[in-house]
Chain A
Amino acid sequence: LAKTTQPISMDSYEGQEVNITCSHNNIATNDYITWYQQFPSQGPRFIIQGYKTKVTNEVASLFIPADRKSSTLSLPRVSLSDTAVYYCLVGDSFQKLVFGTGTRLLVSP
């Protein structure tokens, strides 16, 4: 199982762009990179998934360099409601996705 390393916590202010970087040095050829968001007392929610280069959807962008040993989740213009825990997961099936402890993002006014 590919192990991921991400910051324990990050602070930001409303309106700023937030970039959360995840390291996954032993990612396998078939592995995808998936990010989930979790609010207190709720189940995680899928944000974005990618294999290489850049993926963008209505809430975030995911940047993956050519060597795929890291990835960066980018949240444009965060708001207070983006305060949550963000999990970076690597695997080729969800059964192999290890959630870990994630990155706790705090957005302040």
Chain B
Amino acid sequence: KAGVTQTPRYLIKTRGQQVTLSCSPISGHRSVSWYQQTPGQGLQFLFEYFSETQRNKGNFPGRFSGRQFSNSRSEMNVSTLELGDSALYLCASSLVWASGSPDEQFFGPGTRLTVL
């Protein structure tokens, strides 16, 4: 079974631009989450989508948004880029078991975004 894929793997943008990142989850996984990882802040939860609906959201400004399509693929958009948005953006997918324990997250390789 193929893993989580993310495109592009590397991206360079300038301040003020916007960017769209794409994530394809593992087949059968309906939950997709996005994370931002920086050396200073570590790995932080951005938001989670399930059945095309944003189900949970982290503490990030409205410039960060996302969506999920009917095939569970997800995109994340960052508008009006700032230098501080330079980071590794990770996507993770999971089955939703509702077992009472946290579902195992399967992470993709990430997209390295550099804002100049």
Chain A interface size range: 20 to 34
Residues of B contacting A96 in the complex (Cβ-Cβ under 8 angstroms): 102
Contact A102 B42 (CB under 8 A): yes
How many whole Å from B87's CB to the nearest CB in chain A? 13
B side interface size, CB within 8 A: 27
Residues of B contacting A95 in the complex (Cβ-Cβ under 8 angstroms): 33, 45, 48, 55-56
Contact B33 A94 (CB under 8 A): yes
Contact A91 B102 (CB under 8 A): yes
Indicate if A41 sits at the interface (CB-CB under 8 A).
yes
Contact A99 B43 (CB under 8 A): yes
Residues of B contacting A30 in the complex (Cβ-Cβ under 8 angstroms): 100
Contact B109 A41 (CB under 8 A): yes
Contact A94 B108 (CB under 8 A): no
Partner of B92, one of A43, A51, A98: A43
**A-B contacts at CB below 8 angstroms, number:** 62
Which residues of A50-69 have CB atoms within 8 Å of chain B's CB atoms?
51
Contact B101 A51 (CB under 8 A): yes
Contact A92 B102 (CB under 8 A): yes
Interface of B is mostly: strand
The answer for the CA separation of A70 and B94 in the assembled complex, in Å, is 27
1/0 per position for A85-99, CB-CB distance to B under 8 A?
Answer: 001010111111111
Residues of B contacting A44 in the complex (Cβ-Cβ under 8 angstroms): 43, 90, 105, 107
Contact B102 A32 (CB under 8 A): yes
Contact A93 B102 (CB under 8 A): yes
- Seen from chain B, the residues whose Cβ lies within 8 Å of a Cβ on chain A are 4, 33, 35, 42-45, 48, 55-56, 88, 90-92, 94, 100-110, 112
- Seen from chain A, the residues whose Cβ lies within 8 Å of a Cβ on chain B are 30, 32, 34, 36, 41-46, 49, 51, 87, 89, 91-102
